[in-house]
Amino acid sequence: DGGITQSPKYLFRKEGQNVTLSCEQNLNHDAMYWYRQDPGQGLRLIYYSQIVNDFQKGDIAEGYSVSREKKESFPLTVTSAQKNPTAFYLCASREGLSYGYTFGSGTRLTVV
């Protein structure tokens, strides 16, 4: 079945460490997105990529980095510069202009 796979489901990080969240899709979608969700809040855009080897900052990119070396993969690195990284992270991809997004099941990141 086609879809988006995010791993791991739960991730714990010590302060000062970088950590990478995985996002893989087999939908052949060109565009991919990373969102952050805090308790009781909506989703905020971190980074997005419309094609391979190209990506743009969203609204809250500080402290995060991404790469898009393959169409299927869009990993997100949470760096030590991100002051409050504990949150739920959702990856999404988009098929075409007339459709909505397909979302992964998310990664819950906790700083310990």
Partner 1 sequence: AQTVTQSQPEMSVQEAETVTLSCTYDTSESDYYLFWYKQPPSRQMILVIRQEAYKQQNATENRFSVNFQKAAKSFSLKISDSQLGDAAMYFCAYREETSGSRLTFGEGTQLTVNP
* Binds partner 1 (CB under 8 A): choice among 19, 23, 90, 109: 90
What does the DSSP assignment read for 83-103? S---EEEEEEEE--TTS-EEE
Residue 61 touches partner 1, criterion: CB under 8 A? no
Which C-beta is closer to partner 1: that of 75 or that of 103?
103
Say how many residues touch partner 1, by CB under 8 A: 26
Distances (CA, A) of 74 to 15, 31, 34, 40, 53: 24, 10, 9, 26, 10
Structure tokens at 77: 């690195």
Closest by Cα among 98, 94, 3 to 51? 94
Residue 42 touches partner 1, criterion: CB under 8 A? yes
* Binds partner 1 (CB under 8 A): choice among 45, 52, 60, 61: 45
Residue 5 touches partner 1, criterion: CB under 8 A? no
Residue 28 touches partner 1, criterion: CB under 8 A? no
Q: How far apart are CA 21 and CA 78, in angstroms?
A: 8
Q: How far apart are CA 49 and CA 54, in angstroms?
A: 6
Residue 78 touches partner 1, criterion: CB under 8 A? no
Interface residue list for partner 1 (CB under 8 A)? 31, 33, 35, 40-45, 48, 50, 56, 58-59, 88, 90, 92, 94, 97-101, 103, 105-106
